Amino acid sequence: MIWLTWRQFRAQAITAAAALAAFAIVLAAAKPSLSGVYHSSGLASCHGAACTGLASTFINDLASGAGIAGVPETPYMIVYFLSVVVILIAPAIIGIFWGAPLIARELEAGTFRLTWNQSITRTRWLAVKLALIGLAAMAVTEAFSLIQAWWAAPIGKAVGLGGTGSIFSETRFGVFVFPTHGITPFGYAAFGFALGVTVGLLVRRAIPAMAITLAIFAAAQLITPLIRPNLFPTSQTVTTVAAAGANVTLTANPSLAFTATVVPGQPGAWIISSQGINAAGQPVSSVPAACEPLGPQTNVTHRGRGPVTSAPGSNAPNNCVASHGIRIAESYQPASHYWPLQLSETGMYLALALALAGYCFWRLNRRRT
């Protein structure tokens, strides 16, 4: 049975191995240049607060020459962007081309009449297929992730030191970085493969099953960032406007909004939400009357037409709001919760994969030949 599985799966296995080799070659070729920029920036030997400025300079050097904001144009940006995209779509591709046809192809071609009437039971047939191909899917996806993490290690170190700028500035909790690093690729690969197998069993046609698998997996990818902050209990703190590095936004309602950038005493924390509160601990959304004129006159808008934010380098709105006793309440995930969140998200998708696999066993054994 193992030999038969290999014979049927060898084309996909060879394609995956070739893609993985090409991915590794491209990043290995780009590694010396990236390492050279990193060492020339002085980050490798810096200490203390000076590292933050050097880290931002390094990040900006990698993005220098980019034209439109957010569009990768420099070689480093292109390699980084494409490598992350490869890891994000790998589980979907596995589900489409490995999972969906696994049973659907047998049902569509009618070969199930021969396959499931031999001495090998349906349970054993499916168990071997799911185990071997599923493990291969997880290994390939994680290999992509490890290779990319090896190449992007200097970028990760710079971001960890406080470097900001361009698409490189996402922390390890970022919406693109988190699902492509650590152990989460294991869970996504297992789920994508099991999802494809289940849809193929239900739809019984390979092509429609591929399309449905892609749609469901894409929906899961879009929903997950919304539930990720709640996969592990968050922490809360209350601090001053200055300590939170908060940017005060005065809107034309008039109302007040805060965007905190740091959590005091928690370097690398992931800020989930931040809001202003008064001395009694109650949320504050209205702008103190004395602070309304402090919005820059060039950006003043009429009621209902948008926000008025403080001018770059101006602390007047921040100071005014703080002088009225308004503080910042932050909800966050500390840096120490990175691996618990990784385990939670991976466990969630592995559990979904096991549930789908269990359903496939049940459904297949109930099916009449």
Whether residue 66 has pLDDT greater than 80: no
Confidence of residue 58 (pLDDT cuts 50, 70, 90): confident
Domain range enclosing 251: 242-325
Q: Is residue 120 part of a domain?
A: yes
Could you tell me which of 228, 233, 234 has the C-alpha nearest to residue 331?
234
- Comparing 126 with 315, the larger pLDDT belongs to 126
d(CA 360, CA 3): 22
| Per-residue model confidence (pLDDT) at position 292 | 65
Q: What is the mean pLDDT of residues 139-153?
A: 95
DSSP state of 98: I
Confidence of residue 310 (pLDDT cuts 50, 70, 90): very low
Confidence of residue 72 (pLDDT cuts 50, 70, 90): low
Q: What is the pLDDT of residues 151-196, one digit of tens each?
A: 999 888 888 777 666 666 778 898 999 999 999 999 999 999 999 9
Q: Is residue 330 part of a domain?
A: no
Residues 258 and 226 in one domain: no
Q: Is residue 90 part of a domain?
A: yes
Confidence of residue 276 (pLDDT cuts 50, 70, 90): confident
Q: What is the pLDDT of residues 195-246, one digit of tens each?
A: 999 999 999 899 999 999 999 999 999 999 999 999 999 999 998 888 888 7
Asked if omega into 312 is within 30° of 0 (cis), the reply is: no
Residues 51 and 156 in one domain: yes
| Per-residue model confidence (pLDDT) at position 342 | 96
Residues 43 and 107 in one domain: yes
Residue 341 contacts residue 269 (beta carbons within 8 Å): no
Q: Is residue 236 part of a domain?
A: no
Whether residue 43 has pLDDT greater than 50: yes
Residues 101 and 69 in one domain: yes
Counting the structural domains of the chain, the total is: 2
Confidence of residue 38 (pLDDT cuts 50, 70, 90): confident
Whether residue 346 has pLDDT greater than 90: yes
Residue 126 contacts residue 358 (beta carbons within 8 Å): no
Residues 117 and 185 in one domain: yes
Residues 80 and 194 in one domain: yes
Residues 91 and 66 in one domain: yes
Confidence of residue 15 (pLDDT cuts 50, 70, 90): very high
Average pLDDT over all residues of the chain: 83
Q: Is residue 346 part of a domain?
A: yes
Residues 42 and 152 in one domain: yes
Residue 85 contacts residue 176 (beta carbons within 8 Å): no
Residues 252 and 299 in one domain: yes
Give the DSSP H or E segment for 238.
Answer: strand 235-239
Whether residue 139 has pLDDT greater than 90: yes
Residues 215 and 284 in one domain: no
Residues 201 and 298 in one domain: no
Residues 343 and 316 in one domain: no
Give the DSSP H or E segment for 259.
Answer: strand 255-259
d(CA 69, CA 166): 7
Residue 321 contacts residue 276 (beta carbons within 8 Å): yes
Q: Is residue 106 part of a domain?
A: yes
**In percent, how much of the chain has pLDDT > 90?**
41
d(CA 339, CA 333): 11
Whether residue 147 has pLDDT greater than 90: yes
Whether residue 7 has pLDDT greater than 80: no
Q: What is the mean pLDDT of residues 257-276?
A: 85
Confidence of residue 332 (pLDDT cuts 50, 70, 90): very high
Whether residue 249 has pLDDT greater than 80: no
| Per-residue model confidence (pLDDT) at position 368 | 59
Minimum mean pLDDT among 58-72, 73-87, 172-186, 220-234: which range? Answer: 58-72
Q: Is residue 12 part of a domain?
A: yes
Q: What is the pLDDT of residues 104-124, one digit of tens each?
A: 888 887 766 666 666 778 888
Whether residue 40 has pLDDT greater than 60: yes
Q: Is residue 331 part of a domain?
A: no
Separation of CA 7 from chain center? 35
| Per-residue model confidence (pLDDT) at position 68 | 45
